[in-house]
Structure 1
Amino acid sequence: MLGFFSNAMLRFLETYPDQEEQMDISIVIVANAEGNAFNSNSSKYLHPLGGEPLISYPWQLAADLSEPPPLLLVNAMAASPLQTWAAGRARCVRWQDALPLGETVLLLYGDAPLLRATSVRAFLTNYEQHAVSAMNLVSGAGCVAQLLTATRFQELQASEESLDAGLASLEATLVTLEDAREGLRIHTRVDLSRAEKLLRQRINMRWMLAGVTLVDPATTYIAPTVTIGRDTVIHPHTHLRGKTTIGMENALGPNSIIDSCTIGNRCRVTASVLEHAVMEDESDIGPFGHLRKGARLCRGAHMGNFGEMKKSTLGPGAKMGHFSYLGDTTVAANANIGAGTITCNYDGAHKHPTEIGKGAFIGSGSMLVAPVKIGAGATIGAGSVVTHDLPPGSLAYGVPARLKSTKKD
């Protein structure tokens, strides 16, 4: 399969280049060009690309190239929102500030998200091989990176020219970027959509080459923060977001959203939404299921169509077939949750827990009014409203549910 792609294509598709020895160089990310083309109340550098802020891509590039945090060069309009994002990541500075610089300054641009570390390393090598005081990395879209001595940088700062004018007038040796797609600068939302498509192609190709099947790459959306095990199959219109970790041999989608979740091996997700949840090995959900924050499907658990879980655990081998809601609930192994079962966990002021024991059977259409405990092996008849704890092996039914002495009664 590798022979099908040119070397340039494979280099472009590479998302996370190998780490090399950190370089002793000062990196400045230029993030001052807000403009009005975005027609937005937010900084363009904070608009999402692949689920992450636009500015995070050059920031990650800088982190790949050099250990010290980069300097983030901003103007007055952009300073406040970017300073909030940069906290703990980078130091925001202004054009006329005295900056702590090494001998060489690398200027990256906050609106050039597709530039790769391998291309910049080649640019650095080119700069070191030529005795010049300034060098620009350019593409058809213009300049995407600049190298210059700290002395030249400080001379530009000392001039009366603005940042943009000073950098534009810089006399420098030009080096052309091999893959022009990396040089895309984001000036409008149209540019942002182009970058989204190119980034998606890059990420999707990387995972396909790593052993993941994408049935339709054009309708598969994988954030750069996601990891996927081999032999997983991803069906059309599936979105993988946030810091999601997916194991091997899973079947995901179609029409699913998985955000900041952990999924084990040999799991199945069909037309469902998962948020900050966990699926252990060989569990499955859907169609039309919803796992909210704090939900967990243990090994071999099954959650069918039109079910919802929040801060709840469905134990190993437990089943919740359809049309049920579990909130603040712990279900032990091999229990059965009948259709239409609701845990009534909220009394209007506080949330309360429900515990369902191992092998318990909850009949269809039942309501469990929390706080309540259902013992192991207990059975609840269909349509019951349970307001009190039930001991192990017991039988209860009715509205309100009444306890029978044994299941034989």
Structure 2
Amino acid sequence: MTTNRYAVILAAGQGTRMKSKLYKVLHPVCGKPMVEHVVDQISTLHINETVTIIGHGADLVKTHLNGKSEFALQEEQLGTAHAVMQAESVLGNLEGTTLVVCGDTPLIKAETMEALLQHHEDQNAKATILTGYAENPTGYGRIIRNNTGLVERIVEHKDAAEEEKSVKEINTGTYCFDNKALFDALKKVSNDNVQGEYYLPDVIEILQSEGEIVSAYQTSDFGETLGVNDRVALSQAETIMKRRINEQHMRNGVTITDPNNTYIGSDVKIGRDTLVLPGTVLTGNTEIGEDAIIGPSTEIKDCVVGSRTTVKQSVAHNSSIGSDVQIGPFAHIRPESSIHDEVKIGNFVEVKKAEFGKGSKASHLSYIGDAEVGKAVNIGCGSITVNYDGKNKHLTKIEDGVFVGCNSNLVAPVTVGKGAYIAAGSTITEDVPGESLSIARARQVNKDNYVQKLNDKK
């Protein structure tokens, strides 16, 4: 019989040790808020309902997890058991298994949570603890097992006897429970402790006292259980996640020449035989094709990049870039740009909300904003689409096969017709017919001996 499964994510704590205005679980790890890492891993499991317990920064958490989770508000932070209790209105009367995981554990993997759930169900347990093996278990609760391998008790470090302190299997703070047993036991949890809070591990003790089976599943990767409580732990999580992501890409056929200095977000997709060079930062929903060369010192966010494209020492955000394209060095592709195949965007060229047709070129020192550039267009050095009149942005249209001479200004709104030529140094304020040569510059005047006359006056 298939068991219904639920998940509760604890994400209500303020995180005072972060010393930050930003709500703790929203601190990013490899470009994504750590609570979102947890939710995204859970979303790959067969979970019937996910409830995130929110408190501080509730609205921001809802924004980031919109559509991925239900929410329950913990108005006062009175402990982890109290936090889980807030999910009772959603889960309290349901049959099944509930996974409880902290929103500040961004490294936990779906495979580990699935193994924990499966072990819990196979053991017919009322509670199962995810444990880890710590070389230095100082500060962690120790897992004390009986002769049959079941959990006898959890002993906090400060309460452990010397023999118990030698135990290196520790409580990670992630659990599985029989859902009804969980909410029944939560009602019995007391806050009779130094902090005056309701602690979730007390549920384990309650279930044991009632003779229920409490099991444990030990993860083989202790690092993924890291809880992020301060900036030091945040940097540790970033390092581990970065290594994990980079290794996955390399095993999938991507060459990363310097993984320690390459930063790739968890949602980035990269095709085989692409080369990623040092100092590259790839984030958001970026997708890169095969045989591309990215970097060095390149930042790409929320872009689709085609195959065999080179992006060198450049920045690109929220745009599409075709195949066989050359970008950089030192180019800036701003949002809502569409760069078609075989385009060249050269050094110190800025493109903003513009479309470049197949085979067009802007090789150096140009600004092309709010523009439609056709196929096989050549935009000369220092050319600018003058798109802003002080109040509104206007469109420049450059049709197929146009040649724009160096140091030209195209004052929008303006259209340059198919196959037209713009003479170097022109300022174009009116439409240019196709196949025409447009010259818009002052006539040159040479004044003979002018410098000598000027010097004589001095």
Q: Could you tell me the TM-score, scaled by structure 2's length? A: 0.79
Alpha carbon RMSD of aligned pairs, Å? 2.0
Aligned residues: 380
- Structure 1 residue 164, shift from structure 2 partner: 6.4
CA distance 1:202–1:326, change in 2 (3 Å)? same
Comparing 245-254 with 119-128, which one deviates more in the overlay?
Answer: 119-128
CA contact (8 A) 1:22 1:65 kept: no
In structure 2, the partner of 1:328 is: 370
SS of structure 2 residue aligned to 1:309: strand
Answering whether residue 13 of structure 2 is matched by residue 33 of structure 1, we say: yes
Find the aligned partners of 2:276 and 2:361 in 1 and give their Cα distance.
Answer: 24
Percent of aligned pairs sharing the same letter = 34
Runs of 4+ off more than 4 Å: none
Matched, 1:390 2:432: yes
CA deviations over 1:143-196 (Å, ceiling 9, x no partner): 242112223311333135359643122234333221111111111111111111
Selected match of 1:150 from 179, 182, 202: 179
Alignment check: 8 A CA contact 1:63 1:69 kept:
no
The letter of the residue matching 2:403 is F
Is there any run of 5+ residues in structure 2 with no aligned partner, and where?
A: 75-82, 135-139, 141-170, 206-213, 444-458
Counterparts of residues 120-199 of structure 1 (less than 5 Å): 120-139=113-132, 140=134, 142-159=171-188, 161=190, 165-169=198-202, 170-171=204-205, 172-199=214-241
Partner of 2:247: 205
Q: Is the 8 A contact 1:79 1:92 kept in 2?
A: no
Report the alpha carbon displacement of residue 264 of structure 1 after superposing the two structures with TM: 0.8
Q: 1:61 to 1:327 in 2, by over 3 A?
A: same
Separation (CA, whole Å) in 1 of partners of 2:377 and 2:321: 17
CA contact (8 A) 1:244 1:262 kept: yes
Q: Name 2:155's counterpart in structure 1.
A: none
How many Å apart are 1:124 and its aligned residue?
A: 1.9
Who is 2:107 aligned against?
A: 114
Structure 2 contact 283–300 (Cα < 8 Å) conserved: yes
Paired residue secondary structure (1:352): coil
Q: 2:302 corresponds to which residue? A: 260
Match of 1:12 in 2: none
Secondary structure class of the residue paired with 1:328 = strand
- Which whole-Å CA distance do the structure 2 matches of 1:244 and 1:38 have between them? 29
Q: Residues of 2 paired with 1:355 and 1:168: CA distance?
A: 66
- Give the CA deviation at 1:221: 0.8
Pick one of 89, 99, 114 that aligns with 2:68. 89
CA positional deviation for 1:202: 0.6
Shift of the 81–343 alpha-carbon distance from structure 1 to 2, 3 Å rule, reads closer
Task: Answer with 147-156 or 199-208: which moved more.
Answer: 147-156
Q: Distance in 2 between matches of 1:367 and 1:173?
A: 74
Deviations 1:31-71 (A, max 9, x none): 23333101111210111111111101111122112343401
User: Which deviates the most, 103-112 or 239-248?
Assistant: 103-112
What amino acid sits opposite 2:97 in the alignment? T
- Residue 369 of structure 1: aligned partner: 411
Post-superposition CA distance 1:266-315 (Å, at most 9, x none): 10101000011111111111000011112122111111100011111122
Residue of structure 1 in register with 2:53 after alignment: 73
Distance in 2 (alpha carbons) for counterparts of 1:210 and 1:29: 31
CA 1:81–1:279: 2 relative to 1, 3 Å: closer
Structure 1 residue 226 corresponds to structure 2 residue 219: no
CA contact (8 A) 1:386 1:400 kept: no
Letter in 2 for 1:168: P
> Distance in 2 between the 1:22 and 1:201 partners?
36
Q: CA deviation at 1:262?
A: 0.8
CA distance in 1, matches of 2:197, 2:223: 23
Q: 2:281 aligns with which of 239, 242, 253?
A: 239
Of 12, 15, 22 in structure 2, the residue corresponding to residue 42 of structure 1 is 22
Asked if 1 retains the 8 angstrom alpha-carbon contact of 2:339 and 2:355, the reply is yes
Aligned-partner SS, 2:199: helix
Say which is worse superposed, 144-153 or 218-227, in terms of deviation: 144-153
Alignment partners' CA distance in 1, 2:189 and 2:218: 29
Which sections of structure 1, spanning at least 5 residues, go unmatched?
1-20, 402-409
Distance change >3 Å, CA 83–CA 354, structure 1 → 2: closer
**Which has the larger Rg?**
2
* Map of 1:405 onto structure 2: none
Which fold has the larger relative contact order, with Cα–Cα distance below 8 Å and residues 6 or more apart in sequence? 2
> Of residues 16, 19, 37 in structure 2, which corresponds to 1:57?
37
| Residue equivalent to 1:6 | none
